[in-house]
């Protein structure tokens, strides 16, 4: 069996041995193509990649694609959606680090860290009362999108004493049997939220939230789901952290809500256009913390990912269902 990894990363000898234990005799080939259509797909049965070739006619042996990303929005309108070739994501390999990012940035907002860090270079003792922090215990966090990342965000925020409410595509399905690289984390049984809401119930959920965390996947149904109308439903003084994909929250509406004070502060890690151009209007929006799509970038990703890949190789060889199969009808 031949596996092709399309990445700048190369498997270590130990990782090759681990993958060989899942499929004895596996042939592993590594390429790093600027475009996936430049890859040599001859004899490749398993493709591990971020982007998928469009010319699938030359990939006659392809039986499965394992994405390096937790999401699959890059496959919207892709020819592979019209085939029977299974595609799996890296969901479950980003929950803890992205939730840490959410917890970190939320605590930074609560304790006014951006302003406090100006103390040292200023050489001037500040008005301490004007920089007072906020107690988070008893506040409400709303998680928009309750998958593996949203559930770990909920666990960490609940540990701070926050009340959790959530919104998901199917609010009746509380459990999550997806892959989790960190046993004991997340909320697999769905015990944390005090209330569950569906896609048409944001008007009920948002007015409760002191913090809104957007983790929902990017699909045709979620594009633009947070706009001017939804911002009008927020309680005064609410904050927002966006870590999923650009375009789910309307960028102009977010900027307007921050400029008007309807939204007190926001943290954004993902954008409609990436890399973000230097003349983007976000750079001049007040009370907006921006990071360059870093919440899911962490040291140690590859050992974690190899664990998922090895398990899926074992399942593929045994003819068992693969973990993290994309739901093409739902767009992720």
Q: Which residues pair with 143 in a beta bridge?
A: 166, 213
pLDDT tens figures, 212-249: 999 999 888 899 999 999 999 999 999 999 999 999 99
Q: Are residues 9 and 108 in the same domain?
A: no
Q: Are residues 195 and 82 in the same domain?
A: no
Omega of the bond prior to 237 within 30 degrees of 0, cis? Answer: no
d(CA 111, CA 98): 20
Average pLDDT over residues 192-199: 97
Would you say the pTM of this structure is higher than 0.85?
Answer: yes
Q: Are residues 271 and 149 in the same domain?
A: yes
Q: How far is CA 310 from CA 17, 30, 248, 305, 320, in A?
A: 10, 16, 33, 9, 13
Q: Into how many domains does the chain fold? A: 2
Answer whether residue 328 shows pLDDT above 80.
no
At 89 the pLDDT is: 95
CA atoms within 13 A on the CB side of 134: 17
Residue 73's CATH number: 3.40.50.720
pLDDT tens figures, 76-91: 889 999 999 999 999 9
pLDDT band at 71 (very low <50, low <70, confident <90, very high): confident
| 87-88 sheet: strands from edge to edge | 27-31, 2-6, 46-49, 64-67, 87-88
Instruction: Quote the percentage of the chain above a pLDDT of 90.
Output: 93
153 domain residue, yes or no: yes
Q: Are residues 70 and 150 in the same domain?
A: no
Average pLDDT over residues 146-173: 96
At 327 the pLDDT is: 83
Domain range enclosing 275: 95-290
| 195-197 sheet: strands from edge to edge | 195-197, 163-167, 140-144, 211-214, 239-242, 265-268, 288-290
Answer whether residue 20 shows pLDDT above 90.
yes
pLDDT tens figures, 250-280: 999 999 999 999 999 999 999 999 999 999 9
At 329 the pLDDT is: 64
d(CA 48, CA 67): 6
Answer whether residue 331 shows pLDDT above 70.
no
Residue 17, C-beta contacts closer than 8 angstroms, at least 6 positions apart: none
Q: Are residues 31 and 143 in the same domain?
A: no
Place of tokens 């309680």: 235
Q: Are residues 14 and 148 in the same domain?
A: no
Q: Which of 274, 295, 290, 5 is nearest to 150 (CA)?
A: 295
d(CA 163, CA 214): 16
Q: Token pair for residue 79?
A: 């020819």
* Long-range contacts, 219-223 (Cβ 8 Å, 24+): 219/73, 219/76, 219/330, 219/331, 219/332, 220/76, 220/331, 221/169, 221/330, 221/331, 222/145, 222/248, 223/247, 223/248
Answer whether residue 204 shows pLDDT above 90.
yes
pLDDT tens figures, 23-45: 999 999 999 999 999 999 999 99
Q: Are residues 76 and 153 in the same domain?
A: no
Q: Are residues 281 and 314 in the same domain?
A: no
Q: Are residues 76 and 189 in the same domain?
A: no
Q: Are residues 164 and 307 in the same domain?
A: no
Q: Are residues 212 and 186 in the same domain?
A: yes
327 domain residue, yes or no: no
Q: Token pair for residue 60?
A: 């006659």
pLDDT band at 178 (very low <50, low <70, confident <90, very high): confident
């Amino acid at each position: 069996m031949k596996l092709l990894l399309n990445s700048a990363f190369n498997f270590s000898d130990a990782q090759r041995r681990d993958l060989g234990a899942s499929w004895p005799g596996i042939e592993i080939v590594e390429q790093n193509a600027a475009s996936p259509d430049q890859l040599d797909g001859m004899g490749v049965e398993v493709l591990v990649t971020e982007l998928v070739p469009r010319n699938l006619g030359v990939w006659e042996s392809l039986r499965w694609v394992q994405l390096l990303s937790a999401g699959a929005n890059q496959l919207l309108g892709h020819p592979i959606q019209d085939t029977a070739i299974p595609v799996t994501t890296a969901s479950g390999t980003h929950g803890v680090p992205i939730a840490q990012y959410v917890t970190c940035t939320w605590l930074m907002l609560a304790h006014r860290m951006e302003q406090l860090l100006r103390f040292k270079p200023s050489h001037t003792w500040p008005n301490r009362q004007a920089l007072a922090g906020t107690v988070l215990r008893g506040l409400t966090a709303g998680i928009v999108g309750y998958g593996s990342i949203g559930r770990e965000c909920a666990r960490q925020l609940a540990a701070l004493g926050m009340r959790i409410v959530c919104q998901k595509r199917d609010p009746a399905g509380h459990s999550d049997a997806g892959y989790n690289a960190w046993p004991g984390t997340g909320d697999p049984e769905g015990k944390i939220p005090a209330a569950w809401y569906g896609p048409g119930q944001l008007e009920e959920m948002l007015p409760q939230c002191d913090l809104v965390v957007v983790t929902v996947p990017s699909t045709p149904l979620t594009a633009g789901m947070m706009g001017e109308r939804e911002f009008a439903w927020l309680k005064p003084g609410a904050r927002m952290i966006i870590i999923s994909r650009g375009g789910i929250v309307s960028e102009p509406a977010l900027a307007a809500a921050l400029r008007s004070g309807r939204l007190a502060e926001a943290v954004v890690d993902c954008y409609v256009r990436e890399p973000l151009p230097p003349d983007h209007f976000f750079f001049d929006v007040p009370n907006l913390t921006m990071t360059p799509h870093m919440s899911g970038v962490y040291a140690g990703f590859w050992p974690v990912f190899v664990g998922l890949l090895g398990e899926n190789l074992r399942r593929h060889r045994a003819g068992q269902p693969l973990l993290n199969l994309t739901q093409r009808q739902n767009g992720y």
